[in-house]
Amino acid sequence: MAVFKHAWDRFHAYAVFESEREAYPQTFSEELNDQCGRILFVISLITTVAWLPYTYLDANLHPEEPLLPLLRMGLSVFSLIIFILHVSKRFPQYNMLFLVLIGAYLAIGCGLITALADADSVYMGGYIFILTVMALVPVDRRYALVIIAASLLTFLVVGRLEHVSFSRTGDRYSLLDLYSATFVAIAFIYLLHNTRLASWLKSRKIEQQSEEMRSDKEKIDNLLLNILPPVVAEELKGHGYVKPVFYPSATIVFTDFVGFTKISETLTPDQLVQELDAAFSRFDRVMDKYGLEKLKTIGDSYMYAGGVPIANATHAIDAVLGALEIQSFVEQINLEKSQSGRPVFEIRIGINTGPLMAGVVGEKKFVYDVWGDSVNLASRMESSGEKGKINISESTCALIKDYFETEARGQVLAKNKGAVSMYFVKKLKKEYSSDAVGLIPNEQFRIIYRTFQEKGLQTKNPAMVN
């Protein structure tokens, strides 16, 4: 029983509701072709066998007309060919054409058979039925009208040649029924055509509105992703809020252009914006390269973090690699500016690693931000640093010192922090670098890096592992 039900479900789905549209029809003709495709399986299957039982009736009622059974068997062969072509799914663009051909054979053939059968009332009833059904088929009305006209013309011409007489009252009544049915069929063809067209236009408008809504939603989602990290944006969309998360270990980086205010006085507003846009756009690409999270820009200050919002075991290394590339970029740009006599932007970078909280603040103009003493200390690392150098805290140094060359600065006074141990990070150690300046990690470094990643995945809250 279950097998039978499964087979029936497959047949029902294929025969009538074969599949969802891959694309909404762009023209009314495509819409009709799609509708024809949804019923062509059943129609071609029915017409393959529908006329075969009547061959026995033809042989008994009109044995003198051998063409009658041939016409009926011809419909079966013709419909079977179309059925096979349709099932092959190689010609979906011809669904309406296939249905038109079946309808033309059926209607014209029925008119011919009825005329050859001397307009016998038994045959007239079937002929009228076929003409009426033609009004329901979702083909272009021009094709339907041509088929009905050709069928009726065939019946009248062949009937004339066969000397069919409508002298009896019953015959004239049947002829009147035929004309009435033809008139009704034509009326319904126009009515259903206009109904289908209006329905398609309305559906098309709804589809266009839906497409606009999808496009607007995509733009909004992309805008949200430009403001918030993807995982945070998904949480905000799903719950309407973002729960603050505690990170036991993350790395915060602050960058600042030294003497920016004085330099900005020598530039026009447009030039200033262009300079910052060029620099920060490059910084953004560095964030993508090392899997870092840009937090915000305030004036000429750029802030980013490693290990948030997705915790990882390599955040300190990632943050330092990003800082080294930013430093190298600024040095290169400054060299070009010096050669052309333009003012240069000297950068100062500060880094600290430690615990912090992260989340979204506010109800409008959402901002993903971080809080904690570790963040404050990272800011002090930047303000206590020197231009053109990367100043890191002791906690960051402990995590990266085996792989990067560092220079101890000793205890340095920091605002509201007192004396703090600080270090300059210079470059990758020679044994871990594939270039002379120590910016590009070599394969040995990458192996160690992947080891850290794997160890981090095995812990609930990954932090840098030594």
Q: In sequence order, what are the residues at sequence separation of 6 or more whose Cβ sits closer than 8 angstroms to the Cβ of residue 375?
A: 252, 352, 356
pLDDT at residue 248, rounded to an integer: 93
DSSP 213-247: HHHHHHHHHHHHHHHS-HHHHHHHHHHSS---EEE
Residue that is written with structure tokens 């029915």 in the block: 46
Whether residue 309 has a cis bond before it, omega within 30° of 0? yes
For residue 39, pLDDT beyond 70:
yes
pLDDT band at 21 (very low <50, low <70, confident <90, very high): low
Structure-token pair, residue 177: 């029924």
pLDDT at residue 456, rounded to an integer: 61
Mean pLDDT is lowest, of 35-39, 133-137, 210-214, 403-407, for 210-214
**Per residue in 208-263, pLDDT tens?**
888 888 888 888 777 766 677 777 777 767 666 678 889 999 999 999 998 887 88
Please, are residues 349 and 254 in contact by the beta-carbon 8 Å criterion? Answer: yes
Domain 241-457, architecture per CATH? 2-Layer Sandwich (3.30)
How far is the C-alpha of 91 from the C-alpha of 95, rounded, in Å? Answer: 7
Its pTM stands at 0.60
> Percent of the chain scored above 70 by pLDDT?
90
> What does the buried/exposed string (b/e) look like for 211-249 if buried means 16 or more CB atoms within 10 Å of the residue's CB?
eeeeeeeeeeeeebeeebbeebbebbeeeeebeebebeb
247 has which bridge partners? 356
> What does the buried/exposed string (b/e) look like for 21-33 if buried means 16 or more CB atoms within 10 Å of the residue's CB?
eeebbeeeeebbb
**Per residue in 300-325, pLDDT tens?**
899 999 999 888 989 999 999 999 99
Q: What H or E segment, with its residue span, contains residue 195?
A: helix 169-227
Mean pLDDT is lowest, of 45-54, 162-171, 420-429, for 162-171
How far is the C-alpha of 153 from the C-alpha of 147, rounded, in Å? Answer: 10
Domain with CATH 3.30.70.1230 in the chain: 241-457
pLDDT at residue 10, rounded to an integer: 53
Average pLDDT of 378-392? 92
From 67, 73, 161, 68, select the one nearest 123 (Cα to Cα). 68
Helix ranges (H only) for 265-411 are 269-290, 315-340, 373-383, 394-400
From 86, 17, 4, select the one nearest 46 (Cα to Cα). 86
Q: How far is CA 321 from CA 284, 393, 428, 439, in A?
A: 14, 15, 9, 7
Mean pLDDT is lowest, of 246-250, 436-440, 452-456, for 452-456
